[in-house]
Structure 1
Amino acid sequence: AWVSRNTERVKYEAQREEYQDVMIRPFFEGNQYFLFVTETYRDVRLVAAPPASIGKFGADTDNWVWPRHTGDFSVFRIYAGPDNKPAEYAAENVPFQPRHFLPVSLDGVDAGDFTLVFGFPGRTEEYLPSPAIEQRVDVLNPIRIGIRDRTLAVMNEAMRNDPEVRLQYVSKQSRIANSWKKWIGESQGIHKTNGIAKRKAYEAEFQKRVAANPEWKEPYGDILGRFEQLYAEQAPYAKAREYIGEIAGRNIELFRYINTLHGVAKSYNASGAPGLAGRMDKIKNYVEGFFKDYRPEVDRQVFASLMEVYFNELSPQYQSEFAIEQFVASNKDYQTLASLIYGKSQLIRPDVMRQALEAGPDILAKTIQEDYAYHFVRGISEVNEGEALKEYQRIQEDIDLLQRKYMKAQMEVFSEKRFYPDANGTLRVSYGKVDGYTPRDAVQFEPHTYLEGIIEKYVPGDYEFDVPDKLRQLYNSKDYGPYGEAGKMPVCFIGANHTTGGNSGSPAIDAYGNLVGLNFDRVWEGTMSDINYDASICRNIMVDIRYVLFVIDKLGGAGHLVEEMELVHPKK
């Protein structure tokens, strides 16, 4: 509270223009605070974007994967007021004139070349103690991965068997698979690079230095031991939180839907009909949006599969009494339980919900709170909102305070080491060399991909690997214009820059200050970089700016956009 009051006071006293915002963010686990003055231009207009078959080429199969051949980019133009200052949208606004813009290199990058990524990475945790990494890799990730294995197995089969289901579930499947794939890569990367053993060796050196210095021994001597105790104490709550969070919050659509409707019921219980009166249109839109792509027969199979995990793997003390009663009443058969829940629920019947919405807040709240599935879902969810969550958070508060102390201690004890603060959504620079890597024994990846690779992967009519006819024509004629290199069309490249979520679209800049690419992903084996960056295997994936220009100009016929750019040859 004291920190919050002080930061608010500093923000209030900070000098700024009317069009500027002030924010204060903690760095190094709250050991330092920085003030940022920002200008936000809100009139941003779409100028160009590639076809989905180029911008999402490879889709889920290639997500987190190298070699990559995705033309992931969009072109926007920022508009400002006549004074070049931020302004809301208006017809008289004009294109923003920056103090500097990036020249665009047509020479590309070679293996060993310097690159710099400039952007807003979301969150990393590079300075965690080994018990935290062990908990994530050996306990939490297996829970998450195992649950999503089951969800994806059901979804994938349904999508293969029914084209309509495939259309309805492609984005849902992608959402589930994205993190699932990342967690698998994260765990594999930690194990391949001996990340935990290296972290323990680092901690042993920390403890050795602390023990040898009387000034450090008292304040820092028990930090690592306390981490061991706290993470061990938190483990059962963390497991329960993960099981219930995955099952009730992220995988079964019925649960997510009912938990959202629970918020509606809570508002009604707190304020009566007036509390919902102004929100009914929004609630109607949500319900209609849910039904638009919902297939109860698919969700029911996900439910049946995940209830097997719930009753067999989650500790009984964290299981809902009502859920146990219904399971026993179903002769402990998961399909019977699924038929009972989905068969008796009125909330997944579009006609019932539309009638309740038309009848108004009183009937809507009654329909929600008297529903059989509502009681089943809330019984499970409330465990994660009650004692288990409170205990988890209580221990996490102690861990957070200790982590702040540990961060301070590391910077003192390893004074010769250069520490960089974890990502927190603020502007950062990351640099590294263009370089391939060895993901596993006897496999070596090169740092560049080319249009040939797209043609090799091409599958006519496939939603992941189809491409426009014109792209194949350009490939066959080798009509690459000034964007090709030695008769080939570069597509993507990788580097050892440390990036994370939030860096999608970040410019990749060469040693001369020219734009050479756009960052959009990481390699599968290097997703561990959020907690354990290792330059031997962590690679960021960038689309080559020459491929971007090629798609805009030769494929899209929008050469006039390229003419607005300053094209340079820094290597000639």
Structure 2
Amino acid sequence: MKKIFSILIFALLSCSLFADEGMWLPLLLEKYNIADMQKKGFKLTADDIYSINHASMKDAIVIFGGGCTGEMISNEGLLITNHHCGYGTIQRHSSVEHDYLTDGFWAMSRKEELASPGLTVTFLVSMEDVTDKVLEGVTSDMTDGERATKILANIAKIKEESVKDTHYQARIESFYNGNQYFLFKNEIFEDVRLVGAPPSAIGKFGGDTDNWMWPRHTGDFSLFRVYCGKDGKPAKYSDDNIPYTPKKFFPISLKGVQEGDFTMVFGYPGTTQEYLPAVAVEQVMYDSDPTRIAIRDKKLEVIKAGMEKSKLTRIQYSNKAASIANGWKKWQGEIKGLKRLDAVNVKRNFEEGFQKWANDKPEYKDLLNDYAKVYAEMKPLNMAYIYISEAGLGSYAVSFANQMRMLESCKDASSENLQSLKEMALSKSKGNYKDYDEQVEIRLFAEMTRIFVENMPENYWPSAYSNIDKYAKSASDKYMAFAEYCFSKSVFANQTKFDNFVNGLSSKSAKVLASDPIYCIAKEVMDKYKNEIRMALIDCDARINKLDRIYMKAQMEYEPQKRFFPDANFTLRVTYGQVSPYKPADGIDYLPYTTLDGIIEKDNPDIYDYKVPARLKELYEKKDYGRYADKDGKLHVAFTATNHTTGGNSGSPVINGNGELIGVNFDRNWEGTMSDIMYDPEMCRNISLDIRYALFLIDKFAGATHLIDEMEIRK
């Protein structure tokens, strides 16, 4: 019966590419997708989405920072993305005196907009298939090393020639696991200023509890402005810079959405693994995901306990906690979803048919056996890597000590180089210890040490771990006692100690580092990884990459009728679907939208994540929604649709059939997080902020009507 169920699921999923699965290259929409999109309600053309001959939607999309998407919403450089994408920037501007995380921030004039050093936005200028150029000179009799060397040389040449005599930057990415290559020309702007962000009680409403969940009531947006030189080109920050005029910005619709409406998400999805073999999915489900979850359980327990004790600690660790919790919760949903789909057996059933087809094909017949061998070899290495990265280097004190390894060079440094080391270290110190609490770090160090010792073979232990028992007053507190000892003897324990050490840096300081317990632990853990794990993992990865390339090609030959979309790799993609509810469990049927009513229902002054601001409650009581209410009289907050999204799509525009902005993508439902590996059209939903809720907050809540005035709003 289980096998029959798996076959039925496989049949359903095989058909899903003709539903709403897929992250499609905008350059190829005319060939593969536009007819289907128009059938589903899209009223424009492929040329309106992507063109190098005239302004198109791609000119309104940016990579925001290093891992999110954003979109232009005015001809004066105004940009909207998620609150959680701008969160780190908002935090860096926050202090106890100016707590923008708690209070929100709204620039009421251009002069009040906050410069954000290090923050960039990246526009795509063009993309081009360069497969033939990349593979030029590559032959079948080359070794893997020779092949890689030739490809890298070709890529370097193509990139250099493509942006010669321009201010653009070039990027080449592989698709279909190395079977195809595209060149991306980008324009990067470095002067990006914070314009507005709601308080976290709105922008992060529900906190980690509601993260990945539906129903959702989070006002997850923030506003920035892109500035440029007077010539319209990217420029370093300057008071003389002017707001950038984009080639394209999105008009905004006030019509809202109804079930069945066409939706398109246009952005930069990070990573998917649609074409993994069964053995890889099995390791994700039963080894790597559960291990990471267990370690992060303890991290969050320690950090949240510290955050509850003081306002300063809450500010310091808010971004860290959010980052840790994001993956922690996603992996739990991923495991549940993959088990519900019986994913391993679905893959095995596919592989059974594939193997029969491949048996008489010498180039493919051993693929699955080769996968089994290399994944078996990689499993213990991967687990060791997880324990080292998540636990061994899991406390911020140890992690920072590892970053400061270059300080050892002080023993042979000239006076000039010593000064450079000091300046570098003090700069890093400022950033690290700004968001650091010593008591939280001691507890975190203790718990991460315990996890490492209890799960890693002794040959991977730093030497100090062999003496942990001697610091214990009792067996139950030996890790805490060890942590307190290490911090009492380490220059990395707090900023005062570290800065004093750096200011006195000399050739003799290397001896201090050699006896510093936290530094020695960081060094030994990292050296164990470098000497005993890294190269073996790199070898396994290289073998898997080769198998992936061949297996991808083989699958395309095995199923020539199937539309294969390339796995996400943080390049610009289109995904389309429709507004849709879903049923997560028996007896539960979710609507495809939420309203302000739900926020008020969740209001709980005793729970930080559910404290509703008084001003928002006042507007609710008066039903003062202005022109942003839905035709049902309610203020809609968020909605779900069937668009296939992943990390990196955060902040992506959600566009209706007329090419108007109707929402900002910010999450997926927990039950559908397995979509990175296996998409289920019945369960996978992206979650988007209703753009009308964002406008309401800007206008009615914040009173920043000048921002509304520069947008093109359509009724």
1:283 aligns to 2:431 (yes or no): no
Aligned alpha-carbon RMSD (Å)? 2.6
Give the alignment of 1:457-536 within 5 angstroms. Answer: 457-460=602-605, 462-485=607-630, 486-536=632-682
542-551 or 79-88: which moved more? 79-88
CA displacement at 1:83 relative to structure 2 = 5.0
Match of 2:364 among 220, 223, 237: 220
Q: Aligned residue for 1:543?
A: 689
Match of 1:429 among 570, 574, 580: 574
Tell me, yes or no, if the aligned pair for 2:333 and 2:672 is still in contact at 8 Å: yes
Structure 2 counterpart of 1:455, which letter? I
Match of 1:419 among 561, 564, 570: 564
1:516-556 alpha-carbon deviations (Å, 9 max, x no partner): 00111122222222222222222211100111111111112
Q: Aligned residue for 1:401?
A: 546
CA displacement at 1:488 relative to structure 2 = 0.3
CA displacement at 1:220 relative to structure 2 = 0.7
- Higher relative CO (Cα under 8 Å, sequence separation at least 6) belongs to 1
Tell me, yes or no, if the aligned pair for 2:513 and 2:519 is still in contact at 8 Å: yes
Tell me, yes or no, if the aligned pair for 1:160 and 1:166 is still in contact at 8 Å: yes
Change (3 A) 1:506 1:286: same
Q: Distance in 2 between matches of 1:497 and 1:26?
A: 23
433-442 or 515-524: which moved more? 433-442
CA displacement at 1:450 relative to structure 2 = 0.4
Tell me, yes or no, if the aligned pair for 1:356 and 1:367 is still in contact at 8 Å: no
CA displacement at 1:398 relative to structure 2 = 0.8
Structure 2 counterpart of 1:245, which letter? S
1:98-145 alpha-carbon deviations (Å, 9 max, x no partner): 443322111111111111011111222221111111111101111111
Q: Aligned residue for 2:382?
A: 238
1:308 aligns to 2:450 (yes or no): yes
Q: Distance in 1 between matches of 2:429 and 2:704?
A: 41
Q: Aligned residue for 1:207?
A: 355
1:41 aligns to 2:189 (yes or no): yes
Change (3 A) 1:260 1:327: farther
Q: Distance in 2 between matches of 1:79 and 1:388?
A: 45
Change (3 A) 1:303 1:22: closer
125-134 or 455-464: which moved more? 455-464
Structure 1: 4+ residue segments shifted above 6 A: none
Change (3 A) 1:263 1:461: farther
1:29 aligns to 2:172 (yes or no): no
Tell me, yes or no, if the aligned pair for 2:468 and 2:478 is still in contact at 8 Å: no
467-476 or 351-360: which moved more? 351-360
Structure 1 residues not aligned, in runs of 5+ = none
- SS of match in other structure, 1:362: coil
Tell me, yes or no, if the aligned pair for 1:207 and 1:221 is still in contact at 8 Å: yes
Q: Distance in 2 between matches of 1:300 and 1:179?
A: 23
Q: Distance in 2 between matches of 1:99 and 1:355?
A: 51
Tell me, yes or no, if the aligned pair for 1:341 and 1:372 is still in contact at 8 Å: no
CA displacement at 1:229 relative to structure 2 = 0.9
- SS of match in other structure, 1:395: helix
Identity level (%): 41
Q: Distance in 1 between matches of 2:211 and 2:597?
A: 19
Tell me, yes or no, if the aligned pair for 1:304 and 1:338 is still in contact at 8 Å: yes
Tell me, yes or no, if the aligned pair for 1:55 and 1:73 is still in contact at 8 Å: yes
402-411 or 528-537: which moved more? 528-537
Tell me, yes or no, if the aligned pair for 2:446 and 2:482 is still in contact at 8 Å: no
Match of 2:460 among 309, 318, 327: 318
1:28-85 alpha-carbon deviations (Å, 9 max, x no partner): 1111111122223334343333233222222222222211111122233334455544
Structure 2 counterpart of 1:473, which letter? E
Q: Distance in 1 between matches of 2:238 and 2:320?
A: 36
Q: Distance in 1 between matches of 2:454 and 2:233?
A: 60
Structure 2 residues not aligned, in runs of 5+ = 1-148
Give the alignment of 1:278-427 within 5 angstroms. Answer: 278-327=420-469, 333=475, 335-344=477-486, 345-347=489-491, 348=493, 350-427=495-572
Change (3 A) 1:400 1:48: same
- SS of match in other structure, 2:166: coil
Tell me, yes or no, if the aligned pair for 2:398 and 2:522 is still in contact at 8 Å: yes
Q: Distance in 1 between matches of 2:299 and 2:233?
A: 49
Q: Distance in 1 between matches of 2:436 and 2:186?
A: 41
Tell me, yes or no, if the aligned pair for 2:411 and 2:508 is still in contact at 8 Å: no
CA displacement at 1:15 relative to structure 2 = 5.9
CA displacement at 1:6 relative to structure 2 = 0.3
Q: Distance in 2 between matches of 1:295 and 1:352?
A: 13
1:381-439 alpha-carbon deviations (Å, 9 max, x no partner): 32222212222221121111111111111122211111111111211111111112222
- SS of match in other structure, 2:590: coil
What is the number of residues matched between the two proteins?
563
- SS of match in other structure, 2:667: strand
TM-score, structure 2 normalization: 0.74
Q: Distance in 2 between matches of 1:208 and 1:355?
A: 68
Change (3 A) 1:6 1:532: same
Q: Distance in 1 between matches of 2:670 and 2:413?
A: 49
CA displacement at 1:454 relative to structure 2 = 1.0
Q: Aligned residue for 1:566?
A: 712
CA displacement at 1:459 relative to structure 2 = 2.5
Change (3 A) 1:85 1:147: closer
Q: Aligned residue for 2:700?
A: 554
Tell me, yes or no, if the aligned pair for 2:393 and 2:525 is still in contact at 8 Å: no
Match of 2:400 among 237, 257, 262: 257
Tell me, yes or no, if the aligned pair for 2:411 and 2:506 is still in contact at 8 Å: no
CA displacement at 1:514 relative to structure 2 = 1.0
Change (3 A) 1:76 1:307: closer
Tell me, yes or no, if the aligned pair for 2:411 and 2:507 is still in contact at 8 Å: no
201-210 or 271-280: which moved more? 271-280
Match of 2:201 among 37, 48, 53: 53
